[in-house]
Structure 1
């Protein structure tokens, strides 16, 4: 009897966890460059005296969906999207490197190129600082060029190049901040084959219809597991009554 309770109890618990993942994906359906989170159930044996035949049901985060989102033109000079595979490298406050496809860039008070989340965009030689009163253009290879605001001056100055990388998806893990990092830490060398689309942004890759269907399916699974617990309780009560009568 307790085997049934173990399975149904943990199944119901982690079904709620998966519902939270689905809700998080739906909440980010319009977030630029968002990669939907994926997870799955797995069985884990319970260790201990008298428990070798029991098993828990656990929710395991299997990673993220790396399918590209739809690229939409914005006309904004600091908006970039990645065409196909690849990532934009950013530097965290602790100096470590992370990766994003959120190309809605901006300048801080010092003119340093940043993401909307406040992370510094890495360049080939460090931070990319834009001179004041300049017009910015970003090329397909990540090269950042500026023109003075004076239309009479046509000299273009190259001030840096955004670090674009393309590590294998299996080596990446998603953090709570939405950024991706290498599983073992460290940094990835720049990949010259990664291509940017300027004045455009990549949308989320969340399939809203699929996530809604999954939410309904998980709700039914939860109801089924609760019914199993209720059946186990009824069986236990009936067994106790039988034992009393026989006693």
Structure 2
């Protein structure tokens, strides 16, 4: 069988995977802090006798777009947005206490005073942040969490958000959509990362770019199917010549 068929089918498979990546990006268009995935593929030779004239598309790990999303004012004291580069640290699911990272800053307080992002505990520099009863809460630009409680007249710092600034090329996404290091090693806090309270960062997905990419992939898939039919026709012709 001519090795061209492997090239065609690997190309079609890559396109289907790319369509899934762009569909997921579009589905998270309104998800605060979402980072778009970018699919990658490379060419690999199909080994065989004689000259290696055929290649196939080989999928590579997706990379994550580091482009910043737009920010909007909310006025809510537990809504935070990273200014410039940087990420919040939260606890992953499970008992091992490993960290994950995100740009999403829609934080809440649970009944036990834990600062949460959905079901994930927000990490401070000493572990999950747990606040005592208070009358007022303030989070400063460096991530310091201060409260006013009892008869106090001044805000008292109780913890500090863990803010990190890893290279996005070293990150991937886990099953929850949070960013985790490929190496498994947690990055250290970076004091240069700043946040702003009362703001939220939107997804960095561009609906126009994703739709254009999806249409281009549809045309590419149609081309792959034409090549598949041509390959099938060449195989039939070869078989007929051998019979004759």
TM-score of the superposed pair, with normalisation by structure 2: 0.91
Residues 134, 147 of structure 2: 8 Å contact kept: no
Counterpart in the other structure of 1:67: 67
Q: CA deviation at 1:181?
A: 2.0
After TM superposition, the structure 1 stretch with the greater mean CA deviation from structure 2, 233-242 or 210-219, is: 233-242
Which residue, out of 95, 98, 107, partners 1:96? Answer: 98
Residues 145, 156 of structure 1: 8 Å contact kept: yes
Report the CA distance shift for 1:200/1:51 in structure 2 as closer, same or farther (over 3 A): farther
Q: CA deviation at 1:219?
A: 0.5
Instruction: Please state whether the residue corresponding to 2:89 is helix, strand or coil.
Output: strand
Structure-to-structure mapping, 1:1-247, within 5 angstroms: 2-46=2-46, 50=49, 53=52, 54-92=54-92, 93=94, 94-116=96-118, 118-132=119-133, 134-148=135-149, 154-244=153-243, 247=244
Give 5+ residue unaligned stretches, structure 2.
Answer: none
**Cα deviations by residue, 1:153-189 (Å, 9 ceiling, x for unpaired):** 5332211110111122232222232222222222222
Residues 2, 235 of structure 2: 8 Å contact kept: no
Q: Distance in 2 between matches of 1:29 and 1:191?
A: 29
Q: Distance in 2 between matches of 1:122 and 1:108?
A: 14
Residues 38, 61 of structure 1: 8 Å contact kept: no
Residues 63, 172 of structure 2: 8 Å contact kept: yes
Give 5+ residue unaligned stretches, structure 1.
Answer: none
Q: CA deviation at 1:55?
A: 3.4
Q: Distance in 1 between matches of 2:233 and 2:190?
A: 62
Q: CA deviation at 1:147?
A: 2.1
